[in-house]
Amino acid sequence: MGEKNKKISLCLGGGGARGYIHIGVLKYLEENEYEIVEVSGTSIGAIIGAGIATGMNSSEIYDFIESEFSYRKLIDFSFSKGMISGVRIFKKLAEVYGKTKVCSTKIPLKIIATRLDDSTKVVFHDESIVDAVRASMSVPGIFAPHIIDGKHYMDGMLTENLPISVLDGDNIIAVSTTLTPDFTTKSTKNYLTKACNIGFLHNEEMSLKNCSKTVQLIRPEYDDVDFLDFYKYKHCMKIGYDEAKRILGQ
């Protein structure tokens, strides 16, 4: 068998707090000298992907997440449009990225969002990283929609939760946070979460089915982290690292 191709296109899926597995995967890639030549991201994947594309390593992204992405720091209520208005996180993203545009990053970056006005998937290019990330992470019912040039944007997970299709490279590592639904637990909260997972899983499987390129899928099975469990970032990172080692270390 030939030497493994370590020049990769990295795809980071959405999934709320579960997306912190991406940092663990990134740490494994760094330790094993993978070269990320482009990155795509949806929602939490867009947040972490933007860090990668602008030259941040896993430790720097970890520090940023630890200091700024606790649930308490994210909350700024907006009962009319979503549980969280997003003003605080927009300001914090602006402190980090300033006016840097998606098209001017060190590593090519593709950020996905859903435009509500015409129900289409959007891949940002000329927009600022701050606007693109804030739009991509606008989870319905949790974050208020983000407005850019009069258009309303919501989370990219609504149209492509695992944004493989937007990548140009042929050697893709895709990281999914989506669980295979299991309805044995009877709590209402559990049923709602797992019902959402059905939609995400179908969405992702369609992306994988329609992709003609080589894709190595990292999708760990862990059911002890919910969508808003932001305080479990260390646990998620370990899961991501261990699963990357299991899949890629073969």
Instruction: Give the catalytic positions in this structure.
Output: 43, 155
- In this structure, are strands 109-115 and 151-155 parallel, antiparallel, or unpaired? antiparallel
Using CA atoms of 228, 229, 230, 233 in order, give the dihedral in degrees to the nearest 10. -140
Q: What proportions of the chain, in percent to the nearest 5, are helix, strand and coil?
A: 45, 20, 40
Neighbours of 12 (CB within 10 A): 31
The tokens for 47 are 């947040």
- Residue type at 120? T
Residue 39 β-bridge partners: 10, 109
| 3 state DSSP class of 45 | helix
